[in-house]
């Protein structure tokens, strides 16, 4: 469709939405103000740059697939992120893991990392107009090899990881200070038992002690926020997870930390869309790890499916996006073009937010309070066929990014010129 037709389609859609009391221009303005934190780890299968060329896995994190073109260096990863962002409308954030440090080729222990090892990321983020979020890396490491970190029975190992956690909060704070927007530093640990434990309590007591030590130093919330992420199970930790949902809910409420809801970290019949409003009652904020579990915590690329739309509706209805809610993605698929995986997921997240922003929420609430559940159901069904796609296309046009699937040609071109020139990772130095 040419520009004139896209605008015409938008005008028609605008009229239709006005008919149900929705202002499409206002919705697009709101969409523009919602940053999504794009996870660096989709670009290289959660590898990082700690040891050049090393293949690090374990800790219940497993990227599967061997699609060619994975980023092998910081420069390559940044190039790939820039390419992805060039076809994603709006201004966003980058979510970085500690193992993506810029160590100048010299190995730095995780307890020794400092803001200077992330300065090149901060400088680059400034140029790209990106806010940043941060994560300590409690996996892919010899000291995490037996499945425990912050809740390890050995004090020396716990102390090592506590020192890493403390170092990471300092780095997060410095990133937030320099970029002028608070960094959310998210703690996720893989700790757990493969088989049924005799003691479920002690690891949790140790975890509480470790987390309290990490969080001992207060940091100005204008530059830094702490989040903690629960999980149900991991590969090799199927029977017991120290940092379970109840554990972290209690920790976050009692310590007034942000709780991270990862869509893949609950029982298959549980949905995080249902949890958002409850958590916001008692936690100072929320970090979303939007992901897609397929039979397990598989971290597939997010689809514009029912749950993604339900999550977006809850986020928008809460009115707390931009204040208490921090929105990030968390998936990693190594079986498809990794840059396209970012773009598909980011654009899907934004489409879901737009659909939610185009909901006549106040009207729906009135109907609900009137007890007219038949009309509520009917309206939900009617909303599904409203022309939100015209508003999305118009938004892409406004933001100067390709409309529809046109972006894919650009990514294929990039694959041909850049990604396919990269040697397989196993032979990279």
**Partner from Zn ion, ligand RNT, none contacting 191, C-beta within 5 to 8 A by type:** none
Shortest separation between residue 160's beta carbon and ligand RNT, angstroms: 18
Asked if 266 touches ligand RNT (CB under 6 A), the answer is no
Asked if 388 touches ligand RNT (CB under 6 A), the answer is no
- String of contacts with ligand RNT for each residue 292-331, x by CB under 6 A: -----x--------------------------------x-
Q: Residues 229, 333, 359, 393: which is the catalytic one?
A: 229
Shortest separation between residue 39's beta carbon and Zn ion, angstroms: 9
Asked if 50 touches ligand RNT (CB under 6 A), the answer is no
Is 212 labeled as catalytic in the residue annotation? Answer: no
Q: Residues 39, 224, 231, 275: which is the catalytic one?
A: 231
Q: Which is nearer to Zn ion, 262 or 307 (CB)?
A: 262
Is 289 labeled as catalytic in the residue annotation? Answer: yes
SS3 string, the chain, reads CCHHHHHHHHHHHHHHHHCCCCCHHHHHHHHHCCCCEEEHHHHCCCCCCCCCCCCCCECCECCCCCCCCCCCCHHHHHHHHHHHHCCCCCCCEEEEEHHHCCCCCCCCCCCCCCHHHHHHHHHHHHHHCCEEEEECCCCCCHHHCCCCCCCCCCHHHHHHHHHHHHHHHHHHHHHHHHHCCCEEEEECCCCEECCCCCCCHHHHHHHHHHHHHHCCCCCCCCCEEEEEECCCCECCECCEECCCHHHHHHHHHHHCCEEEEECCCCCCCCCHHHCHHHHHHHCCCEEEEECEEECEEEEECCCCCHHHHHHHHHHHHHCCECCCEEEEECCCCCCCCHHHHHHHHHHHHHHHHHHHHCCCHHHHHHHHHCCCHHHHHHHHHHHCCCCHHHHHHHHHHHCCCCCHHHHHHHHHHHHHHCHHHCCCHHHCC
Q: Which is nearer to ligand RNT, 25 or 246 (CB)?
A: 246
Asked if 359 and 90 count as a contact pair (C-beta separation under 8 A), the reply is no
**Partner from ligand RNT, Zn ion, none contacting 231, C-beta within 5 to 8 A by type:** ligand RNT
Please give the residues from 54 up to 73 whose contact with ligand RNT meets the rule CB under 6 A.
61
Asked if 261 touches ligand RNT (CB under 6 A), the answer is no
Is 229 labeled as catalytic in the residue annotation? Answer: yes
Asked if 41 touches ligand RNT (CB under 6 A), the answer is yes
Is 262 labeled as catalytic in the residue annotation? Answer: yes
Q: Residues 297, 307, 359, 393: which is the catalytic one?
A: 297
Is 199 labeled as catalytic in the residue annotation? Answer: no
Is 299 labeled as catalytic in the residue annotation? Answer: yes
Q: Which of 229, 307, 333, 359 binds ligand RNT (CB under 6 A)?
A: 229
Q: Residues 117, 164, 257, 265: which is the catalytic one?
A: 265
Closest listed residue to residue 88, CA positions, set 411, 418, 316, 330: 411
**Partner from ligand RNT, Zn ion, none contacting 174, C-beta within 5 to 8 A by type:** none
Shortest separation between residue 250's beta carbon and ligand RNT, angstroms: 19
Is 188 labeled as catalytic in the residue annotation? Answer: yes
Shortest separation between residue 58's beta carbon and Zn ion, angstroms: 16
**Partner from Zn ion, ligand RNT, none contacting 204, C-beta within 5 to 8 A by type:** none
Q: Are strands 131-135 and 192-193 parallel, antiparallel or unpaired?
A: unpaired
Closest listed residue to residue 180, CA positions, set 219, 224, 217, 119: 224
Among all residues, whose Cβ is closest to ligand RNT?
A: 188
Contact footprint for Zn ion (CB under 5 A) = 262, 289, 330
Q: Which is nearer to ligand RNT, 262 or 333 (CB)?
A: 262
Q: Which residues contact 345 (CB under 8 A, 6 or more apart)?
A: 42, 290, 301, 302, 329, 331
User: Tokens standing for 243?
Assistant: 């940092």
Please give the residues from 176 up to 215 whose contact with ligand RNT meets the rule CB under 6 A.
188
Is 23 labeled as catalytic in the residue annotation? Answer: no
Is 305 labeled as catalytic in the residue annotation? Answer: no
Q: Which of 28, 34, 46, 237 binds ligand RNT (CB under 6 A)?
A: 46
Q: Site residues (CB under 6 A) for ligand RNT?
A: 41, 46, 61, 97, 135, 188, 229, 231, 262, 289, 297, 330
- What residues act catalytically? 188, 229, 231, 262, 265, 289, 297, 299, 330
């Amino acid at each position: 469709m040419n520009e004139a037709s896209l605008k015409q389609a938008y005008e028609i859609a605008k009229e239709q939405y006005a008919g149900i009391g929705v202002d499409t221009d206002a919705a697009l303005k709101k969409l523009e103000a919602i940053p999504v934190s794009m996870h660096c780890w989709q670009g290289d299968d959660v590898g990082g740059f700690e040891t050049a060329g090393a293949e690090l896995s374990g800790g219940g994190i497993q990227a599967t697939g061997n699609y060619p073109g994975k980023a092998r260096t910081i420069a390559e990863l940044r190039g790939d992120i820039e390419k992805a962002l060039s076809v994603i409308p709006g201004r966003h954030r980058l979510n970085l893991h500690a193992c993506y440090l810029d160590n100048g080729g010299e190995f730095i222990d995780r307890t020794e990392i400092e803001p200077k090892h992330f300065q090149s990321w901060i400088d680059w983020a400034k140029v790209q107009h990106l806010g940043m979020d941060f994560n300590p890396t409690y996996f892919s490491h010899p000291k995490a090899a037996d499945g425990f970190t912050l809740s390890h029975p050995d004090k020396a190992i716990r102390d090592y990881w506590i020192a890493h956690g403390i170092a990471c909060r300092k780095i997060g704070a410095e990133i937030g200070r320099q970029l002028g927007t608070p960094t959310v530093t998210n703690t996720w640990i893989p700790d757990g038992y493969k088989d049924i434990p005799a003691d479920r309590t002690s690891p949790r007591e140790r975890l509480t002690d470790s987390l309290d030590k990490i969080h001992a130093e207060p940091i100005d919330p204008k530059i830094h926020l702490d989040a903690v992420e629960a999980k149900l199970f991991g590969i090799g930790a199927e029977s017991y997870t120290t940092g379970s949902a109840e554990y972290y809910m209690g920790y976050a409420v009692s310590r007034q930390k942000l709780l991270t809801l990862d869509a893949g970290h609950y029982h298959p019949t549980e949905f995080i869309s249902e949890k958002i409003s409850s958590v916001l009652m008692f936690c100072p904020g929320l970090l979303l790890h939007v992901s897609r579990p397929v039979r397990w915590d598989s971290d597939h690329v997010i689809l514009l499916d029912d749950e993604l739309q339900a999550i977006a509706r809850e986020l928008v209805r809460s009115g707390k996006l931009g204040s208490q809610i921090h929105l990030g993605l968390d998936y990693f698929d190594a079986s498809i073009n990794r840059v396209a995986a970012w773009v598909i997921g980011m654009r899907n997240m934004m489409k879901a937010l737009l659909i939610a922003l185009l909901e006549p929420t106040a009207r729906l609430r009135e109907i609900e309070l009137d007890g007219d559940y038949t009309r509520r159901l009917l309206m939900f069904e009617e909303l599904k066929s409203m022309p939100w796609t015209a508003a999305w296309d118009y938004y892409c046009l406004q933001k100067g990014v390709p409309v529809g699937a046109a972006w894919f040609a650009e990514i294929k071109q990039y694959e041909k010129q850049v990604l396919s020139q990269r040697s397989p990772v196993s032979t990279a130095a």
